[in-house]
């Protein structure tokens, strides 16, 4: 092995040969000294290459872990869901103790004491109150839980949970009676085990993913379970599971009648998406090395057909580093190129950087014209040094960092080369290629040894922040690696946005609207998002309120919602307000809401609607109905409370036009004050010319 800097500062490394050890846990026992020397060589190369010094003029992401109450909080897997119905996303964390009891912690998202705006949030530990670890095995305190997923399975208006357990090999697993479980929520984030859910009857089957769907469109949620190997060493595999719900918390195994029982392979994840735009949810498995994976097409009659060849879906189109077989951790659906169909980010382990080596890639959907076939396009993701020569990519998420209307991709890796395993933030360009901007953001060292992550708009300000779980893999790594990190998004406010929350009320549609597709039309651009619950590898989950970046667009032409309901009815909302969270029902635009500790309030109760926001030159401010006809004063202050502008609108005015050209670029507090003392307020961002 050798390493050095090339004539252009580019790292040149020769790679040690690796045997194909993907069959089991032996891959995690590589020589510490070999990894250390390789990592040291790469680190020297990275310094010689002078990793991009062209940092952004201002911080794009800020570590606010301590400010939001999560300092020194352990995290291994992340689930995000609104457990108490106040619209703010709460956190459910797996603490990293594999195959043990009481691994789950719950943190509720609450208003920070002394906050001046409802966006000032913090997280408080709610684990004991939640009963999330309650077990049914006599004499044992708690329950083994490796993964969770949340949805309103009984259609009573709150999010319930499915809990899955996992083990590596039945020969080494001490079976004390833990099984998969269903837990019902009382609406406050407190859970109760369902006594006869049907899930424990499945037996000792290790799960690597659970995802909700309504596969037969009866308005009641069902459950897809991706499974691993009951005995991996002996090649004893198990088919994936499809469990039909009855709306009370009880489930029936429909795997064989639905057609899934015909394939038995070890999977390390799974996803649900409408692959071919026919409205029916399809299933995608992520194979653990032994096969190429399955894409199950929903036939719309309660059965599925294996369609991976038809879709050209495979994790094995190429071999990886030194010809090694690649394993897939997840296949994440998203319409990243805004062409109206779901593409995939296939997250592959054992990849290499060479021209003839496979690695994590984007599988681009060819749409109706090409029969919805997927094609690998490896070169769209452009990594920068430092980069591991043997890629241990294991988790990823899509989110729009800049709210520019183009989804970005974050990929994490760990396990193989500790000095260079890290997270990659891939920023999408207009031509739908992606550049690694992690170094330019100053995050190279901060986000090493990442394990899982989720986008989370924890403060409901219209942009996705990022929560990261860092995994301390051994005693050689600093203790502060084993924790979660909250990175607040500080760049997206420069662009406009709209967020959409769905609240179906018609019989025949599940109350979580899982399987719904939201399309936001702005000019010549259309963005689509699906409502999902449970994604990828070991159950990661994101909030059901979906954010859409609008870039500089000052309006949304329309929002079209396709509902997960027999016949797939749609609802169209024309010209909705932007920079707000829009709640949509089957009847159309319902209201714009935020909340403080569960008490909803709308625009007329204190929140100003300012648009465009950010503003350049001027903006318009709607006068709330409760203040119309009053004698009003508009007051603009900076963040220190200093008054910079005042304006008195006409008493009959319906809106105010504010000249922002006289304000320096920055963030401002805007108040509208009536003669009687009533106020409405909002935040205004002014762009520099």
- Asked if pLDDT for residue 565 goes beyond 70, the answer is yes
For residues 8-13, give the mean pLDDT: 31
Question: What are the pLDDT digits (tens) for 196-214?
Answer: 999 999 888 999 999 999 9
Paired tokens of 560: 């079209």
Angstrom distance (rounded) from CA 243 to CA 225 = 8
- The rounded Cα 456 to chain-centroid distance in angstroms is 7
- Asked if pLDDT for residue 22 goes beyond 80, the answer is no
- Asked if pLDDT for residue 2 goes beyond 60, the answer is no
Angstrom distance (rounded) from CA 540 to CA 148 = 8
pLDDT, residue 27, reads 41
Poorest-pLDDT segment among 166-175, 364-373, 431-440: 166-175
Question: What are the pLDDT digits (tens) for 297-314?
Answer: 999 999 999 999 999 999
pLDDT, residue 149, reads 95
pLDDT, residue 472, reads 64
pLDDT, residue 55, reads 42
pLDDT, residue 617, reads 87
For residues 11-31, give the mean pLDDT: 37
More confident: 181 or 232:
181
3-state class (DSSP) for residue 487: strand
pLDDT, residue 167, reads 85
More confident: 327 or 449:
327
For residues 71-93, give the mean pLDDT: 93
Angstrom distance (rounded) from CA 499 to CA 502 = 10
Poorest-pLDDT segment among 139-148, 272-281, 282-291, 535-544: 535-544
pLDDT, residue 546, reads 96
Question: What are the pLDDT digits (tens) for 118-130?
Answer: 778 999 999 999 9
pLDDT, residue 249, reads 95
pLDDT, residue 476, reads 58
Using CA atoms, how far residue 596 sits from 21, 70, 81, 109, 623, in Å, is: 52, 20, 17, 10, 22
Question: Chain-wide mean pLDDT for the chain?
Answer: 85
pLDDT, residue 638, reads 77
pLDDT band at 468, cuts 50/70/90? Answer: very high
More confident: 2 or 79:
79
pLDDT, residue 583, reads 94
pLDDT, residue 26, reads 39
Q: Is 632 buried (19+), middle (13-18) or exposed (0-12) by CB count in 10 A?
A: buried
More confident: 512 or 3:
512
- Asked if pLDDT for residue 4 goes beyond 60, the answer is no
For residues 42-71, give the mean pLDDT: 63
Paired tokens of 323: 């010809």
pLDDT, residue 13, reads 30
Count the residues in the chain: 689
- Asked if pLDDT for residue 30 goes beyond 60, the answer is no
pLDDT band at 411, cuts 50/70/90? Answer: very high
Strand order in the sheet with 267-273: 267-273, 282-287, 295-298, 304-306
Angstrom distance (rounded) from CA 267 to CA 211 = 14
pLDDT, residue 456, reads 95
Say if CB 593 and CB 582 are below 8 A apart.
no
Task: Choose the most confident range, by mean pLDDT, from 243-252, 353-362, 471-480.
Answer: 243-252
Question: What are the pLDDT digits (tens) for 592-638?
Answer: 775 444 444 433 346 788 888 888 888 888 888 778 777 889 999 87
- % of the chain exceeding 70 in pLDDT: 87
Which of 542, 568, 543, 546 minimizes the C-alpha distance to 559?
546
pLDDT, residue 678, reads 75
Question: What are the pLDDT digits (tens) for 316-337?
Answer: 888 888 888 888 889 999 999 9
pLDDT, residue 28, reads 41
Say if CB 146 and CB 207 are below 8 A apart.
yes
Question: What are the pLDDT digits (tens) for 277-300?
Answer: 999 999 999 888 888 889 999 999
pLDDT, residue 446, reads 66
Which of 590, 557, 558 minimizes the C-alpha distance to 572?
558
pLDDT, residue 250, reads 96
Q: Each residue of 472-502: b (16+ CB within 10 Å) or e?
A: beeeeeeeebbbbbbbbbbbbbbbbbbbbbb
- % of the chain exceeding 90 in pLDDT: 49
pLDDT, residue 393, reads 87
- Asked if pLDDT for residue 344 goes beyond 50, the answer is yes
Question: What are the pLDDT digits (tens) for 566-584?
Answer: 999 999 999 998 888 999 9
- Asked if pLDDT for residue 246 goes beyond 80, the answer is yes
pLDDT, residue 289, reads 85
More confident: 686 or 4:
686
pLDDT, residue 35, reads 45
Paired tokens of 11: 């790292």
């Amino acid at each position: 092995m050798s390493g050095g800097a090339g004539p252009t500062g580019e790292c040149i490394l020769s790679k040690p040969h690796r045997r194909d050890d993907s069959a089991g846990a032996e891959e995690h026992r590589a020589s510490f000294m070999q990894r250390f020397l390789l990592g040291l060589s790469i680190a020297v190369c990275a310094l010689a290459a002078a990793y991009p010094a062209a940092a952004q003029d201002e911080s794009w992401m800020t570590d606010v872990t301590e400010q939001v109450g999560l300092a020194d909080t352990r995290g291994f897997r992340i689930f995000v869901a609104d457990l108490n119905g106040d619209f703010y996303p709460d956190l459910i964390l797996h603490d990293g103790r594999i195959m043990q009891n009481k691994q789950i912690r719950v943190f509720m998202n609450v208003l920070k004491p002394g906050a001046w705006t409802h966006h000032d949030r913090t997280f408080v530990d709610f684990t004991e109150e939640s009963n999330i670890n309650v077990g049914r095995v006599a004499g044992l305190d708690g329950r083994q839980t490796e993964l969770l997923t949340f949805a309103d399975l009984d259609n009573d208006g709150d999010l319930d949970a499915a809990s899955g357990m996992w083990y590596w090999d039945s020969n080494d697993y001490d079976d004390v009676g833990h099984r998969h479980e269903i837990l019902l929520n009382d609406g406050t984030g407190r859970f109760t085990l369902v006594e006869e859910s049907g899930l424990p009857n499945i037996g000792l089957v290790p799960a690597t993913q659970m995802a909700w769907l309504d596969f037969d469109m009866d308005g009641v949620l069902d459950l897809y379970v991706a499974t691993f190997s009951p005995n991996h060493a002996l090649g004893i595999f198990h088919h994936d599971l499809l469990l039909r719900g009855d709306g009370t918390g009880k489930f029936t195994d429909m795997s064989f009648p639905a057609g899934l029982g015909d394939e038995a392979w070890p999977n390390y994840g799974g996803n649900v998406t409408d692959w071919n735009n026919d409205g029916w949810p399809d299933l995608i498995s992520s194979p653990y090395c032994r096969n190429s994976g399955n894409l199950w097409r929903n036939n719309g009659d309660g059965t599925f057909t294996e369609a991976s060849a038809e879709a050209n879906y495979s994790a094995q189109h190429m071999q990886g580093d030194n010809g090694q077989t690649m394993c897939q951790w997840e296949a994440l659906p998203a319409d990243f190129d805004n062409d109206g169909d779901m593409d995939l980010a296939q997250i592959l382990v054992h990849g290499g950087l060479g021209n003839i080596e496979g690695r994590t890639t984007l599988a681009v959907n060819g749409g109706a014209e090409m029969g919805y076939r997927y094609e690998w396009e490896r070169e769209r993701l452009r990594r920068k040094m430092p980069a591991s020569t043997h890629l241990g990519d294991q988790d990823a998420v899509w989110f729009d960092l800049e709210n520019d209307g183009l989804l970005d991709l974050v990929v994490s890796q760990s396990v193989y080369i500790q000095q260079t395993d890290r997270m990659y933030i891939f920023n999408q360009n207009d031509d739908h290629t992606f550049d690694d901007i992690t170094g330019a953001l100053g995050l190279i060292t901060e986000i090493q040894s990442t394990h899982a992550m989720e986008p989370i708009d924890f403060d409901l300000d219209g942009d996705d922040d990022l929560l990261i779980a860092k995994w301390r893999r051994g005693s050689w790594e600093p203790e502060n690696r084993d924790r979660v990190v909250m990175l607040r998004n500080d760049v997206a406010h420069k662009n406009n946005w709209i967020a959409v929350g769905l609240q179906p009320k018609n019989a025949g549609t599940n109350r979580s609207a899982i399987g719904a597709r939201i399309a936001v039309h702005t000019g010549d651009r259309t963005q689509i998002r699906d409502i999902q619950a449970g994604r990828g590898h070991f159950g990661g989950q994101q909030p059901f309120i979906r954010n859409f970046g609008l870039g500089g667009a000052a309006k949304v032409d329309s929002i079209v919602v396709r509902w997960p309901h027999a016949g797939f009815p749609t609802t169209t909302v024309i010209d909705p307000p932007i920079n707000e969270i829009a709640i949509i029902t089957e009847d159309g635009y319902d209201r714009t809401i935020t909340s403080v500790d569960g008490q909803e309030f709308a625009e007329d109760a204190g929140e100003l609607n300012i648009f465009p926001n950010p503003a350049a030159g001027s903006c318009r401010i709607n006068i709330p109905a409760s203040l119309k006809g009053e004698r009003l004063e508009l007051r603009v202050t900076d963040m220190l409370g200093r008054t910079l502008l005042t304006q008195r609108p006409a008493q009959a005015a319906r809106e105010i036009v504010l000249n922002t050209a006289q304000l320096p670029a920055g963030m401002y507090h805007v108040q509208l004050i009536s003669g009687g003392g009533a106020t409405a307020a909002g935040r205004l961002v002014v762009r520099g010319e």
